[in-house]
Amino acid sequence: MNLVTGGVSGVSIIAKELWGIPLWITNTALNIPLFLASMKLKGWQFIKRTLVATVALSLSLYIIPEMYFLTDDIFLASLFGGLITGVGTGLVFLFRATTGGTDMLAALIQRKLKHYSIAQIMQVLDAVIVLMGATVFGIKYALYALIAIYAVAKISDGMIEGLKFAKQAYIISDKSQEIAGAVMGQLERGVTAIEAVGMFSGQQKKLLYCAVSKKEIVQLKEIVAEYDPDAFVIVSEAKEVFGEGFIKYRQ
């Protein structure tokens, strides 16, 4: 769909448009020197996972035929192409690998420009590639590419951070003992009490902290309201919770 979303694959799309070079050839050719330089400077441990992912990407570009659908709707192609790519990217990141390209180039550049982070250098490199795509395909395609980039980032971040979101609650109440007992008894969730001081009143209070599932937050608020309608409650998202009653961490 001529959507250049950055990276070596984006350069491959431009090369195909300008010179008719297949995507997998450009992707492989550009990654080989980057791998050799990275192995020399960083060692085999740094590149071994990325090597597998990069080879898999090049093979996929070679084996999987081009399938033309949604060609009349660039927006849907941008959105769902970004969503599918985000799932694949998230899976690669979960195994502490990348698909090569600008990731490795940024790591190599960062050795010379130590005052910049790898993430910052990657953003500049990808921005340059997207601008190159805008020059070749036009600004309209570059703007649609930004939609795909956003979708990739949101989905891959969601997979890395965890899709089983939970809620965390901070409760300040004069009935902290009763509320904690009810939460532990009815919800079977642990509660932590933290000693706190109200700076306005100067009184010692207990700040209760509790992590619950999304469906349990309603019951938690009902328990608090039952014992102390004047309690001060803060509820926020907890993207990942590891431990008893939640997700067990697996390396």
Query: pLDDT tens across 41-90, in order?
Result: 767 776 777 888 888 888 988 998 877 777 788 899 899 988 988 888 88
pLDDT, tens digit (0-9, with 9 covering 90-100), for 90-146: 888 777 777 777 777 877 787 778 787 666 787 788 888 989 999 999 999 999 998
122 vs 185, more confident: 185
Most confident segment among 199-203, 225-229, 245-249? 225-229
Dist. CA 201–CA 50, nearest whole Å? 57
- pLDDT at position 246 is 62
Supply the pLDDT for residue 192: 92
- 247/223: higher pLDDT: 223
Q: What is the DSSP letter of 229?
A: T
Q: pLDDT tier at 250 (50, 70, 90 boundaries)?
A: low
CA torsion angle 65 71 74 80 (round to 10): -50
What percent of the chain stands above pLDDT 90?
A: 27
Q: What is the predicted pLDDT for the residue at 210?
A: 92
The pLDDT-based confidence of 209 (bands split at 50, 70, 90) is very high
User: Rounded to an integer, what distance in angstroms lies between the CA atom of residue 87 and that of residue 160?
Assistant: 10
Q: Are 131 and 6 in contact (CB under 8 A)?
A: no
**CA distances from residue 208 to 52, 59, 195 in whole angstroms, order as listed:** 47, 54, 9
**Region 234-240: what's the mean pLDDT?**
82
Two structure tokens written together for 23: 């995507």
List, in order, residues 6 or more apart from 117 with CB less than 8 Å away: 110
- The answer to whether 50 touches 99, Cβ cutoff 8 Å, is yes
Tell me, what's the pLDDT at 164?
58
**DSSP bridge pairs for 196:** 205
Closest of 210, 215, 206 to residue 241, by C-alpha: 210
DSSP three-state, residue 134: helix
Instruction: Give me the mean pLDDT over the 208-216 stretch.
Output: 87
Residues 76 and 70: their CA atoms lie apart, in Å, by: 7
